Structure 1
Amino acid sequence: MKTFLALIGMFGSLSLLSIGGGNTVLPDMHLQAVTGHHWLTNSQFADIFSISQAAPGPSILIVALVGYAAGLGTFGVAGGILGGVLATIAMVVPAAGLMYVITLSWQKAQKSKLRYAVEKGFAPLTVGLILASSLVMSRAADHDWRAYLITGIATLIFVRTKTNPLIVVGAAALLGYVGFV
């Protein structure tokens, strides 16, 4: 029961901090799930992040996988499923409820200077949160200079060109397959 309450508390609070999407809270999710509760290792967290990004659907799928891992360690497969469901509900419901309440008054403040300032302030905040997430995931997944080199080259390609991301991901996968990483 303690694990499930910890999942609800963790993802309920992360839900309210996920400005710009679920990936913006990855650093704190990683810190709590790996370092704080020891539900996963660094490598496992990187693996489930990869799975959640590769799977069709919202990127928030990582929440269900973290919940599954936490519950699995305590109560087996049934606990894993319950952990995944509880974590997902805890991540979605608080943010959705808050957005509903804010939307009711947000529409009334159409020409407000405060609304304009808040909207302009969220863009750099979200970019910073996403950059922090990228750094945490890079540290969790990359283990030697070759992996860091691939990450750096892929980042440069994404930032400097309009290359289809599938080509870059495919090339990185090929390098992993042939044993470069």
Structure 2
Amino acid sequence: MAKQLHIFIAFFRSGILGFGGGPTTIPLVHKEVVKTYGWMTDEEFADVISIGNTLPGPIATKMAGYIGYRIGGWPGLITALFATVVPTVILIILLLSSLKQFHESKFVSGMTNGVIPVVAVMMGVLTYDFLKKSKASLGFKIAALIFIVSFIAIILLNIHPGIVISILLVLAIALPVKGGQES
């Protein structure tokens, strides 16, 4: 029962504090799952994000479902999904009810604009962490090559990120690991 409570708390906190949609909850879920509870390593969490991005649907619920199932089985899956979705539903109902009265207020506009830089910093910190880990595990040249090719494909060629990630997953499976590290 304590495990289910911890799963609920972890995903409820992420759900209630994640402003701006699923991608903004990723750093919050990372803090709860990796740093606070130690249920996963950084590498395992990166794998969850990679696989989750290849599947259709919101990333927050895919991550919650998988991590909840991995930590607590089917009850964990249900608990994590519930904890992820309920705060959003409650907050949307409350905020839309009250913001409707003040939608032209400078305070409401400023509040909304003030959150955007905070989310940008959170995403930047997570990106920096993943770049450091990529450099450590792949080496600078390969990590930089993957970054540049992915950037060109997604930003300049407008290829869907899921397709780029799928191609990288196929290459990771197909290409042999150097140094006899195959398992």
Matches within 5 A, 1:135-146: 135-139=128-132, 143-145=137-139, 146=141
**C-alpha deviation, 1:159, in angstroms:** 7.4
TM-score, with structure 2 as normaliser: 0.78
CA contact (8 A) 2:64 2:84 kept: yes
Q: 1:106 to 1:87 in 2, by over 3 A?
A: same
Q: Find the counterpart in structure 2 of residue 103 from structure 1.
A: 96
**C-alpha deviation, 1:147, in angstroms:** 4.8
Q: CA RMSD in A?
A: 2.7
CA contact (8 A) 2:154 2:160 kept: no
Identity of aligned residues (%): 24
**C-alpha deviation, 1:63, in angstroms:** 1.0
Q: Find the counterpart in structure 2 of residue 53 from structure 1.
A: 53
Structure 1: distance between partners of 2:150 and 2:102: 39
30-39 or 82-91: bigger deviation: 30-39
CA contact (8 A) 2:50 2:165 kept: no
5+ residue gaps in structure 2?
Answer: 179-183
5+ residue gaps in structure 1?
Answer: 72-79
How many residue pairs get aligned? The number is 173
**C-alpha deviation, 1:118, in angstroms:** 1.8
**C-alpha deviation, 1:155, in angstroms:** 5.3
Q: Find the counterpart in structure 2 of residue 69 from structure 1.
A: 70
Matches within 5 A, 1:1-181: 1-60=1-60, 61-71=62-72, 80-139=73-132, 143-145=137-139, 146-154=141-149, 156-157=151-152, 161-165=156-160, 168-169=164-165, 171-173=167-169, 175-176=171-172, 177-179=174-176
CA contact (8 A) 1:43 1:141 kept: no
Structure 2: distance between partners of 1:128 and 1:64: 26
1:88 corresponds to which letter in structure 2?
Answer: L
Q: 1:23 to 1:97 in 2, by over 3 A?
A: same
**C-alpha deviation, 1:112, in angstroms:** 0.7
TM-score, with structure 1 as normaliser: 0.79
Look up the SS of the partner of 1:49 in the other structure.
helix
CA contact (8 A) 1:45 1:140 kept: no
CA contact (8 A) 1:109 1:115 kept: yes
1:172 corresponds to which letter in structure 2?
Answer: L
Q: 1:170 to 1:180 in 2, by over 3 A?
A: farther
Q: 1:140 to 1:152 in 2, by over 3 A?
A: same
Structure 2: distance between partners of 1:82 and 1:110: 40
Cα-to-partner distance string for 1:136-179 (whole Å, 9 max, x where unaligned)? 44456661215522442145426752431356445534542334
CA contact (8 A) 1:40 1:69 kept: no
Q: 1:47 to 1:65 in 2, by over 3 A?
A: same
Q: Find the counterpart in structure 2 of residue 76 from structure 1.
A: none
1:144 corresponds to which letter in structure 2?
Answer: L
Look up the SS of the partner of 1:38 in the other structure.
coil
